[in-house]
Amino acid sequence: MSAVLHRNLRSTPQLALKGDGVYLVDAEGRRYLDASGGAAVSCLGHGHPRVTAAIIAQLGKLEYAHTSFFTNEPSERLAQMLVDSAPAGFGKGRVAFLGSGSEAMEAALKLARQYFVEIGQPGRSRFISRRMSYHGNTLGALAVGGHAGRRALYQPILIETSQIAPCYAYRDQRAGETEEAYGLRVADELDAEIRRLGPETVAAFIAEPIVGATLGSVPAMPGYFARIREICDRHGVLFIADEVMCGMGRAGAMFVSAQEGVRPDIITIAKGLGAGYQPIAATMASERVAGAIEAGSGLLANGHTYMSHAVACAASIAVIETIEAEGLLDNVQRMGALLSRRLNEAFGQHPHVGDIRGRGLLQSLELVADRDSKQPFAAKEGLAARIKQTAQGLGLICYPSSGTADGVNGDHVLLAPPFTIDAGHVDEIVETLGAALAATLPAARSAA
């Protein structure tokens, strides 16, 4: 019996005793290849000495000083490192450090609201996001998330937001439609939605440059984000890029917005920022947003006790320095390409693998009952949960999620291994995943 309020109150999960590079080790000494870093968190694997040393050094100096009295060295340095490597428009921007991706999203929504009050447009308070998106679990972040299942319980206490279609070619691109035409068609839904709501009431559009948790690593079509930027500019609406999962090197660049050539007004990052060594996230305000507040009231209207935590910021600096020193962005690109190739070789013709997609070390498989019709498995099959459990039993941590209850998309398996993996680990991931799928999917069950 556990006193921890676990997700499942009737069973206690396996005890993770220690980490060893890309492996986790449980209390019985069993080793698990951590191929998803939980949910795309552990980008350096476990027990990296450089990050551990940086944390200890900072603890010996200063662990914490409240931001209403002091700033601290690690947060100043980390903020500068981030604005220096961010897309255009952030060079003279500002960064707030928070404890989780959800907090970073809350701060982003509040910043957008404050921005419009500061520039004399207080009527702008509405947010538009995309269906089947995930932006966090706190009430504001949940309200802009477009995953009906995750919102359902809390619907009566969520602020009203609206959603347009995601850029999800596997299911929505029409026959004969080019990728570009498809991307522009779905981007134009934003224009229609802003007009429907009244541009003078809309504060911001929120999107993950690569969709993560809800759809499983879905990058946008070329031209999509350029059109989104154009539409936001046309109507004076801010663009918030949620890079909580896809940013910080996971897709082969520190910022996916930069890869996409788009200039967001606000960017959120988390997961890989602390790599699991410390809970830390950041909300980055571009010069446009930070400048308006500086020129206006001069005061950020949002605050938390643990903002700019010195130890967390020191850990993040060490994470970013390690990515640079070990050439890990190159490894993400090389191993990402290898992982994608191996997944295609192993599952490209699999009767229940409908789509293999992703970028860098953020790759996923969408599972379907029928490849031709793309019919998802019925929710009652509980496929994602069974794959997760089977894979874990075989020594592989991957991140399966169920499709939406309305059957709009299928279950998927997300892979987000540490940036430090090598070709041998890629083979181990694909082989073990293959064994887990063979033990779980219906074709294998009936053949057995």
- Specify the residue, 285 or 430, whose C-beta has the smaller distance to ligand PMP: 285
| CB 7, min distance to ligand PMP, A | 13
Query: Is residue 242 involved in binding ligand PMP (CB under 6 A)?
Result: yes
> Does residue 213 belong to the site contacting ligand PMP (CB under 6 A)?
yes
Q: Which of residues 179-208 bind ligand PMP (CB under 6 A)?
A: 208
Q: Are 17 and 25 in contact, with CB atoms under 8 Å apart?
A: yes
Q: Footprint of ligand PMP on residues 261-280 (CB under 6 A)?
A: 270
Q: What are phi and psi of 424, to 5 degrees?
A: -65, -40
Token duo for residue 2: 């556990």
Establish if 212 lies at the interface with ligand PMP (CB under 6 A).
yes
Q: Which stretch binds ligand PMP (CB under 6 A): 123-131, 241-249, 421-429, 437-445?
A: 241-249
The first and second tokens of residue 64, run together, are 């914490």
Helix (H, G, I), strand (E, B) or coil at 365: strand
- Burial-class residue 296 by CB neighbours within 10 Å (0-12, 13-18, 19+): middle
Does residue 417 contact residue 34 with C-beta atoms inside 8 Å? yes
Cβ(438)–Cβ(351) below 8 Å: no
Separation between Cα atoms, residue 439 and residue 441, nearest integer Å: 6
**What is the rounded distance in angstroms from the CA atom of residue 207 to the CA atom of residue 186?**
13
Nearer to ligand PMP, 98 or 426 (CB): 98
Provide, rounded to whole angstroms, the least separation between the CB of residue 141 and ligand PMP. Answer: 6
Give the range of 96-104, 146-154, 170-178, 368-376 binding ligand PMP by CB under 6 A. 96-104
Please tell me whether residue 118 binds ligand PMP under the rule CB under 6 A. no
Segment near ligand PMP (CB under 6 A); pick from 72-80, 131-139, 165-173, 198-206: 131-139
Report residue 94 as tokens.
Answer: 């500002």
Min separation Cβ 305 and ligand PMP, Å: 17
355 binds ligand PMP (CB under 6 A): no
Residue 335 touches ligand PMP, criterion: CB under 6 A: no
The residue (of 238 and 244) whose beta carbon lies closer to ligand PMP is: 244
Among the listed ranges 94-102, 151-159, 250-258, 329-337, the one in contact with ligand PMP (CB under 6 A) is: 94-102
Nearest to 320 by CA among 397, 232, 238, 254: 254
Total of residues contacting ligand PMP (CB under 6 A) = 16
Per-residue contact flags (x/-) with ligand PMP for residues 47 to 76, judged by CB under 6 A: ------------------------------
Eight-state DSSP code of residue 278: B
Shortest distance (Å) from residue 257 CB to ligand PMP: 13
DSSP letters for 164-231: E----HHHHPPTT--HHHHHHHHHHHHHHHHHHH-GGGEEEEEE-SEE-TTTSSEEPPTTHHHHHHHH
Residue nearest to ligand PMP (CB): 101
Per CB under 6 A, the list member of 32, 127, 134, 205 interacting with ligand PMP is: 134
Residue from the set 74, 101, 223, 274 that interacts with ligand PMP by CB under 6 A? 101
The whole-angstrom separation of Cα 244 and Cα 211 is 10
User: Would you count residue 166 as binding ligand PMP (CB under 6 A)?
Assistant: no
In this complex, which beta carbon is closest to ligand PMP, that of residue 166 or of residue 212?
Answer: 212
Q: What does DSSP assign to residue 367?
A: E
Candidates 99-107, 153-161, 179-187, 194-202; binding stretch for ligand PMP (CB under 6 A): 99-107
Question: Residue 240 CA to chain centroid, in angstroms?
Answer: 13
Interhelix angle 328-347/423-440, rounded to 10 degrees, is 40
Calculate Rg over the CA atoms of the chain: 22
Token code pair at residue 362: 């953020």
Place of tokens 């998803």: 36
Q: Which residues contact 300 (CB under 8 A, 6 or more apart)?
A: 96, 111, 114, 293
**Contacting ligand PMP (CB under 6 A), which of 43, 51, 105, 221?**
105
Phi first, then psi: give them for residue 241, nearest 5 degrees: -95, 115
> Per CB under 6 A, does 102 bind ligand PMP?
yes
Any contact of residue 209 with ligand PMP (CB under 6 A)?
no
Using the minimum distance from each CB to ligand PMP, give the nearer residue, 270 or 320: 270
Q: Which residues sit at the interface with ligand PMP, rule CB under 6 A?
A: 39, 100-102, 105, 134-137, 208, 212-213, 242, 244-245, 270
